[in-house]
Amino acid sequence: MKRTSVLLLVAGTSIAALLSASSAFAAQNVANTSQKGSLLIWPAINVNSSLNQDTLIEISNDGVVGVAVQCEYVNERKGRVSFDFFLTAKETASWSVGTRAGDRVEPPPFPTYIGSPTFDDGQGAGQQVRGELICFATDPAGANQVAFNELTGTGTPIKRDNTSSTQPKEGYKYNAWAFVARGANGLPQPDAPGTPFGTAGHLVLDGLNSGDSYDACPLYNIVNFMPNGATLGSAPNTFTTFANNLVVVSCNQDLRQDYNLWLTKLVFNQWNSLEASFDGSWFCADSLDNVPLTATKDPTNFNFAVLKTPNARFTVQGEASTQCPGSVATGLVGVFYSDVGINNTTTPTNEIGSNTSGAGAEAGFVWWNPTGGVPPAAKPQ
């Protein structure tokens, strides 16, 4: 169906009413990929050594004092390992997740064991060689999280031998999602690397002006994309998309050793460049997942044969649904990557990727096991 013209909408609706529609505008106090923060999330980690795949991590402290950083790897099968390090003033650290080579940090091996409980998303139950990285500022003892809104980071998934592409050595870079620790006045909480912020072991992601909360999570994510099978341009200058993939992390992050699974239903809506809209695509996921768009229910809505235009966009939102038993509504952060052909309409030549965009606001949490702290009680499902 056709969407209502923006010009007609403005003509028939007051500016005040438009501004009150929070889902249509970027909300304040919501995580994004262009700010500094006290909490960082890297959604896309890949360390498949059999395929010569790795991920490079970079993290920086833009502050004028040092800070302790607590990190946790979690794979798609819920194996996990935590580690910590210290960043001095204005210091940067980087390392290879797969080889563990780095200039400042000596991280543990990425966890490849299967946790319990785990979740089968229908795509081989997830892979132990893929997952996420979460890092946040703590006091030196690792007993409390602290407000220190000076952290930024990037992730670079690389493939050293991609046999399905004419260019076997590939890589793309994305920014870590950053969450600011917020003060009671709604502004960023002043940096205090030695002062506890909130309840130890519980990072509250609601964006409220309570003096102990972090930014909320985006309610939904937006992706501009070329549909599977679309070609833009004419020979010899063409750009073709062969496969699209969404890496999505929810804002229900239980990093404790005794953790609960947090499931959600990913609900997609698509629009082509002629403003025709499509719905019906969905996917059952847990707190982190790598979703080929061809694996969703009603995947044809992502194909050029259905969308009919070489440019399109989609939104994705985490909702509660009986179609995904035990699922709850959740905010999302993500990365989107594609196998494409540059001047090649028959074979992929490159892999490209970037962050998704966020809109709206949804509350969430990060639970972790502090050293000497009291872990939060398990939230009933």
Sign of the alpha-carbon torsion through 145, 95, 104, 58: negative
Shared domain check, 228 and 172: no
Q: Write down which residue in 177, 203, 229 finishes a domain.
A: 203
Shared domain check, 276 and 239: yes
What integer pLDDT is reported at residue 125 of this predicted model?
A: 62
Shared domain check, 229 and 167: no
b/e burial code for range 177-216 (CB count within 10 A of at least 16 → b): bbbbbbbeeeebbebbbeebbbbbbbbbbbbbeeebbbbb
Shared domain check, 229 and 189: no
What integer pLDDT is reported at residue 53 of this predicted model?
A: 92
What integer pLDDT is reported at residue 377 of this predicted model?
A: 41
Q: Which of 11-20, 75-84, 109-118, 272-281 has the lowest mean pLDDT?
A: 11-20
The percent of residues in the chain predicted with pLDDT above 70, rounded, is 90
Shared domain check, 271 and 183: no
Shared domain check, 301 and 227: yes
Domain count, the chain: 2
What integer pLDDT is reported at residue 372 of this predicted model?
A: 56
* Mean pLDDT of the region 346-362: 95
Contact 227, 302 (CB under 8 A): yes
Q: In this structure, is residue 305 part of a structural domain?
A: yes
pLDDT in tens, 136-184: 999 999 999 999 999 999 999 998 877 777 777 889 999 999 999 999 9
Helix, strand or coil for residue 99? coil
Q: In this structure, is residue 348 part of a structural domain?
A: yes
Which residue would you say has higher pLDDT here, 119 or 124?
A: 119
pLDDT in tens, 58-108: 999 999 999 999 999 999 999 999 999 999 999 999 999 999 999 888 899
Q: In this structure, is residue 177 part of a structural domain?
A: yes
Contact 136, 39 (CB under 8 A): yes
The percent of residues in the chain predicted with pLDDT above 90, rounded, is 81
Instruction: Report the length, in residues, of the chain.
Output: 381
Which two structure tokens, joined as six digits, stand for 262? 């947090």
Q: Which domain holds residue 138?
A: 39-203
